[in-house]
Amino acid sequence: MARRTGRRPGNQDTRQAILDAAREAFSERGFDAASIRAIAGTAGVDPALVHHYFGSKDQLFLAAMNSPVDPGELLPKVLAGDQDGIGERLVRTFLGVWDSPAGNAGVALLRSAVSNEWTARLLREFITTQVLRRVLDQLDVERTELPLRGSLVATQLIGLAMMRHVVRLEPVASADPETLVAAIGPTVQRYLTGPLPS
Amino acid sequence: MARRTGRRPGNQDTRQAILDAAREAFSERGFDAASIRAIAGTAGVDPALVHHYFGSKDQLFLAAMNSPVDPGELLPKVLAGDQDGIGERLVRTFLGVWDSPAGNAGVALLRSAVSNEWTARLLREFITTQVLRRVLDQLDVERTELPLRGSLVATQLIGLAMMRHVVRLEPVASADPETLVAAIGPTVQRYLTGPLPS
C-alpha cells in the first residue's frame, strides 16, 4: 500500500492505530461523546500524540472519514452574505465539491455507507456535526426546529449527489451546475428558513 | 435455495434464464430498446413463453428488478385528483411503500445500485420508465421541460429514502409520514409544475 506521507513506517502504524480507534469511537459513541483521551487510550498512545498527528477533534474526525474536504473551511463562504441566499450558496458549494476530484471520495463514502451500518453512522455524524450544525447555528429560526430543517436539507443534497454521481440520471447528471443551483437552491432555502409543518 | 413457487425445477431454470437475459438487456439497451423477442432469443426460449411466465414487458422488467411493488398499480391513485396535490400524494405514496416491508427490497436495490453500475442502470430505467414517465405524462407543462422536472423529483425522493432508511438521520428517520408529506410535498410539486430555471 502506498504511504501518503514520508513518515517512517513506525509512525504510520501509530497513525493507523489512532485512526482505527477514532473510527470506532466516532461510530459507536458519536462525535460529541467520543473523546481524544479515550481514542488515545484505545490506540495505546498519549493524547498529546493524537493532537500532534491530527490537530483538533474535528480534524481527527475528517481524517478518520477520509474526507477530501473540510466543511469548516468551505462553509464560511456559504454563510457569509444574506440569509436569503444561503440555499443557493450551499447547493453551489456542494456541487463544487462533488463535481471536483473530491467527488470520487464522496461516491466511495456513499457506497460504503449504504452497505455498512458503521460507515452509515460515521456519515450521519459527519453530516450533522461537520455540515448541518455549522449552517444551522447561523440561522434566525426557532432552535427547536433546527433538527428537522437540517435533516430535510440532507435529504435534498444527498439525493442530488446520488442522482448526479451514482445513479447518473439525466439531465441532472450532466446539467450545468447553475441550472441545479437555480432549481434546488430554493428548496434548500425553504427547508432552512421557510415555514415548516407544525 | 428456496423455490418461490411450486413450479417444477425445469421451469425454474427457464424462468431464471429469462430473468438473467432480461436484466442484461434492460441494463445494456434500456427499457425501450430491449425487446421480448431478443430476451427470449438470449434465453433460448420462445417469446410466447416469456409472455406466459411474466406477462407484459413492464411486468418482466419489474420481475427482473425484484421490484416488490408495481408503480403502474400505485400511481393512478397519485395522479387522480387535482394537479396541485400531486406533489403531496406522490410523497405520501412513496413513503407508504418505503415504510412497508417492501422498503427492505428498496434498500437492497439502493445498496446494489451504488456498488454496481449494472444495477444503477436498471434503477435509472426503473425510475424513468416505471415512475416518472407515468407521472409526467399527466402534467400540463412544456414537454421539453419534463426530463429536468422528473430528475429533480428523483433527487428529492431518493434522498428522502436514503436519509430515512439507509443513513437514518433523525428526525427524518422516524418522523411521522404526514410531517414529511407536508414538508417535502411542496418541493416535489414545484419540481413538477412550478417555474423552472430557463
pLDDT tens column, B128-149: 999 999 999 889 899 999 999 9
CA of B167: which chain A residue's CA is closest? A120
Prior bond to A171 cis, omega within 30?
yes
Question: The cell 513506517 sits on which residue?
Answer: A9
Please give the Cα distance from B194 to B173 (Å, whole number). 28
**How confident is the model over A75-80, as a mean pLDDT?**
92
CA of A110: which chain B residue's CA is closest? B114
Chain B residues near residue A159 by CB distance under 8 angstroms: 154-160, 162
Cα-trace Rg, chain A: 18
Nearest alpha carbon to residue B164 among B151, B176, B146, B150: B176
The alpha-carbon gap from B46 to the nearest alpha carbon of chain A, in Å, equals 33
Q: Which of B149, B162, B180 to mutate against chain A (most A CBs within 10 Å)?
A: B162
CB contact under 8 Å between B171 and A158, yes or no, is no
Helices A57-64 and A9-29 pack at an angle, to 10 degrees, of 100
CA of A121: which chain B residue's CA is closest? B167
**How confident is the model over A170-197, as a mean pLDDT?**
96
**Domain B71-193 is found in CATH 1.10.357.10:** yes
Whether pLDDT at A2 is above 80: no
Chain A residues near residue B192 by CB distance under 8 angstroms: none
Chain B residues near residue A147 by CB distance under 8 angstroms: 170-171
**How confident is the model over B87-109, as a mean pLDDT?**
93
Rounded to two decimals, the ipTM of the complex is 0.88
Three cell numbers written together for B106: 428498496
Chain B residues near residue A179 by CB distance under 8 angstroms: 148, 197
Name which residue leads in pLDDT, B86 or A198: B86
C-alpha dihedral, A87 to A93 to A94 to A99, nearest 10°: 140
State the pLDDT confidence band at A147, using cuts at 50, 70 and 90: very high
Nearest alpha carbon to residue A71 among A10, A154, A143: A154
Whether pLDDT at A67 is above 70: yes
- A-B interface: how many C-beta pairs under 8 angstroms? 136
Please give the Cα distance from B118 to B29 (Å, whole number). 11
Sketch the domain layout of chain A as residue ranges.
Answer: 9-64, 71-193
Backbone angles phi, psi at B85, to 5 degrees: -105, 5
Sequence length of chain B is 198
N- to C-terminal Cα separation, chain B: 53
Please give the Cα distance from A55 to B169 (Å, whole number). 28
CA of B155: which chain A residue's CA is closest? A159
Chain A residues near residue B179 by CB distance under 8 angstroms: 148, 197
**How confident is the model over A135-153, as a mean pLDDT?**
93
Residue B10 confidence (pLDDT): 55
CB atoms within 10 A of CB B15: 20
The alpha-carbon gap from A24 to the nearest alpha carbon of chain B, in Å, equals 17
Three cell numbers written together for B165: 432508511
Find out whether B26 and B34 touch, Cβ atoms under 8 Å: yes
B17-62: per-residue pLDDT in tens? 999 999 999 999 999 999 999 999 999 999 999 999 999 999 999 9
CB atoms within 10 A of CB B150: 23
Sequence length of chain A is 198
The alpha-carbon gap from B78 to the nearest alpha carbon of chain A, in Å, equals 21
Write out the residues of chain B at the interface with chain A, using a CB-CB cutoff of 8 A: 107, 110-111, 113-115, 120, 123-124, 127-128, 147-148, 151-152, 154-160, 162-164, 166-173, 175, 178-179, 182-184, 186-187, 190-191, 196-197
The helix/strand/coil state of B51 is helix
State the pLDDT confidence band at A196, using cuts at 50, 70 and 90: confident
Three cell numbers written together for B131: 415512475
Residue A10 confidence (pLDDT): 55
- CATH class as words, domain B9-64: mainly alpha
CB contact under 8 Å between A120 and B167, yes or no, is yes
CB atoms within 10 A of CB B28: 11
